Amino acid sequence: MPVDPVPDSATPRAEPRGERSARYLAIRRATRALAAPLSAEDCAIQSMPDASPVKWHLAHAAWFFETFLLEPHLRGYRPLEPAYRMLFNSYYNAVGEKHPRPERGMLSRPGLGEILVYRDHVDAAMLAMLDAELSPEVAGLVELGLQHEQQHQELILTDAKHLLSRNPLKPAYSKLWPLTPIRAREPRWIELAGGLHEIGHAGEGFCFDNETPRHRVWLEPLRIASHPVTNGDFADFIEDGGYRRPELWLAAGWEAVTTRAWQAPLYWERRDGRWYVFTLHGEMPVDRNSPACHVSFFEADAFARWAGARLPGEAEWELAARELPRAGNFVESGALHPLALREAPPEGALAQAFGDVWEWTRSDYAPYPGFKPAAGAVGEYNGKFMSGQYVLRGGSCVTPSAHIRATYRNFFPPEARWQFSGLRLARDA
């Protein structure tokens, strides 16, 4: 299901009121459009503790605008239902009580229709706010809310995919299958010079606080793969006993393999000597030339060892990708699945750095030197998670195109597999 593109973010104070309202509505409507193919029953179920029901995502995105913008900054605003403040709080301890995350699927009420009314209530108030002059502080919170909503657009699709995969009927979110046969592209190694480099966000435009401050890092010379690892590469790893060889795995990774009985990437199943994969378009044969997807950090690290390589650090990845155009297979294409490369990239440039799959790096998700979270409850947005997680870069096939940039730092725990996560290899020069 193609999604209409949303105008790119700009410095909030420079955006005229009419354009500001139009962009707000475009992002909010895109969220509703992503939920539209799902039934009310689909939207109510939570398939695992790490995922959330789609209707909870719809409500939480409205809750964010209500909690951080409307209640403190719009005179006379009245919440539609005061109980929603607790029901749809995600992890903001400074805001108050929260409904337990693993029990979001037990919220049979409010129903989907009531949540859509809640979104309409918030939208009407937000449009009144956007029609007035905004202080820099409020304009910044509006932009943060829109970027937050785009994150939940991606989560709607990742969580819905996991939910539908648990149904024995293997139902499709969309009947459109985007893949056509593509010939394999020969991967290459790209040389990157070592030395002193700067990474992190700089200049105009939105960024999350965890992308700052810009700072210097020292890198040794390296080589980075021109292409992400493909399904064919990963199938070869499996056939060579990759999931049965403890010497390839970190200790915690091997424990995950043995206790969770991993034998292949998430959603893969072998029948009659052939691999199949569950997609948002239903179950399909695995395409060897498409980027490998739905692998954990542990699996990415083990594959890299098997291949005689390693995962890049996030600074190495950013150095390799920062001059590239921000183009790729994003949610707007409607493919909703990683696609094989059709055209060879320019000599010395990464292929598919943006879109298709988030790429695991070897970097711990930690604060940059001099990092300071924002004051108040919004300071909990990123900083409180800087422990026990790894950084991913580049966006995926379900990321909104206007949401990504070379400095964007996604993060997940090393065992996470339900996100559209893949990998790219690196080697020391």
pLDDT digits (tens, 9 = 90+) for 18-27: 889 999 999 9
**What per-residue confidence (pLDDT) applies to 68?**
95
118 and 219 share one domain: no
Domain coverage including residue 213: 189-428
Average pLDDT on 294-311 reads: 98
Please indicate, yes or no, if residue 337 is contained in any of the structural domains. Answer: yes
- What does the alpha-carbon distance between residue 357 and residue 359 come to, in Å, rounded to a whole number? 6
- Could you tell me the two tokens for 180? 């056509």
270 and 407 share one domain: yes
349 and 306 share one domain: yes
**Sheet harboring 410-412: ordered strands across?**
410-412, 390-393, 358-364, 421-422
Is 396 a residue whose pLDDT tops 60? yes
Partners of 218 in beta bridges: 196
**What per-residue confidence (pLDDT) applies to 352?**
95
**What per-residue confidence (pLDDT) applies to 9?**
45
Average pLDDT on 196-206 reads: 92
Q: Which residues of 57-75 are buried (b: 16+ CB within 10 A; e: fewer)?
A: bbbbbbbbbbbbbbeebbe
Average pLDDT on 144-152 reads: 96
Average pLDDT on 169-174 reads: 95
Please indicate, yes or no, if residue 177 is contained in any of the structural domains. Answer: no
Please indicate, yes or no, if residue 388 is contained in any of the structural domains. Answer: yes
DSSP string, 3-39: ----PPP--GGGS-HHHHHHHHHHHHHHHHHHHTTS-
**What per-residue confidence (pLDDT) applies to 197?**
96
Binned at pLDDT 50, 70 and 90, residue 204 comes out as: confident
Last residue of a domain, one of 165, 200, 233: 165
pLDDT digits (tens, 9 = 90+) for 205-232: 999 999 999 999 999 999 999 999 999 9
107 and 217 share one domain: no
- Could you tell me the two tokens for 268? 């893969």
Q: Which of 244-253, 330-339, 374-383 has the lowest mean pLDDT?
A: 374-383
**What per-residue confidence (pLDDT) applies to 403?**
96
The single-letter code of the amino acid at 62 is A
Last residue of a domain, one of 108, 133, 165: 165
Is 185 a residue whose pLDDT tops 90? no
243 and 392 share one domain: yes
Give me the chain's average pLDDT, please.
Answer: 92
Please indicate, yes or no, if residue 351 is contained in any of the structural domains. Answer: yes
203 and 324 share one domain: yes
DSSP string, 314-325: HHHHHHHHTTS-
**What per-residue confidence (pLDDT) applies to 94?**
82
273 and 377 share one domain: yes
254 and 123 share one domain: no
222 and 155 share one domain: no
Binned at pLDDT 50, 70 and 90, residue 10 comes out as: very low
pLDDT digits (tens, 9 = 90+) for 115-141: 999 999 999 999 999 999 999 999 999
Is 5 a residue whose pLDDT tops 60? no
415 and 269 share one domain: yes
The single-letter code of the amino acid at 232 is G
338 and 284 Cβ atoms separated by less than 8 Å: no
Binned at pLDDT 50, 70 and 90, residue 16 comes out as: low
Binned at pLDDT 50, 70 and 90, residue 151 comes out as: very high
Is 181 a residue whose pLDDT tops 70? no
pLDDT digits (tens, 9 = 90+) for 316-341: 999 999 999 999 999 999 999 999 98
Is 302 a residue whose pLDDT tops 80? yes
* Consecutive H or E run containing 148: helix 136-165
85 and 120 share one domain: yes
Binned at pLDDT 50, 70 and 90, residue 13 comes out as: very low
Q: How far apart are the first and last CA of the chain?
A: 43
Please indicate, yes or no, if residue 392 is contained in any of the structural domains. Answer: yes
Is 7 a residue whose pLDDT tops 70? no
Longest dimension (CA), the chain: 66
Please indicate, yes or no, if residue 170 is contained in any of the structural domains. Answer: no
Burial class (CB in 10 A: 0-12, 13-18, 19+), 124: exposed
Please count the structural domains in the chain: 2
Please indicate, yes or no, if residue 74 is contained in any of the structural domains. Answer: yes
Helix axis angle, 54-65 to 136-165, nearest 10°? 180
- What does the alpha-carbon distance between residue 369 and residue 180 come to, in Å, rounded to a whole number? 46
Average pLDDT on 65-94 reads: 94
Binned at pLDDT 50, 70 and 90, residue 203 comes out as: confident
Binned at pLDDT 50, 70 and 90, residue 6 comes out as: low
303 and 414 share one domain: yes
Please indicate, yes or no, if residue 286 is contained in any of the structural domains. Answer: yes
- Could you tell me the two tokens for 396? 């995926």
Partners of 148 in beta bridges: none
pLDDT digits (tens, 9 = 90+) for 37-52: 999 999 999 999 999 9
Percent of residues in the chain assigned helix, strand, coil, to nearest 5? 40, 15, 50
**What per-residue confidence (pLDDT) applies to 1?**
44
Question: Residue 202 sits in a domain of what CATH number?
Answer: 3.90.1580.10
Considering the chain, what percentage of its residues have pLDDT values greater than 90? 85
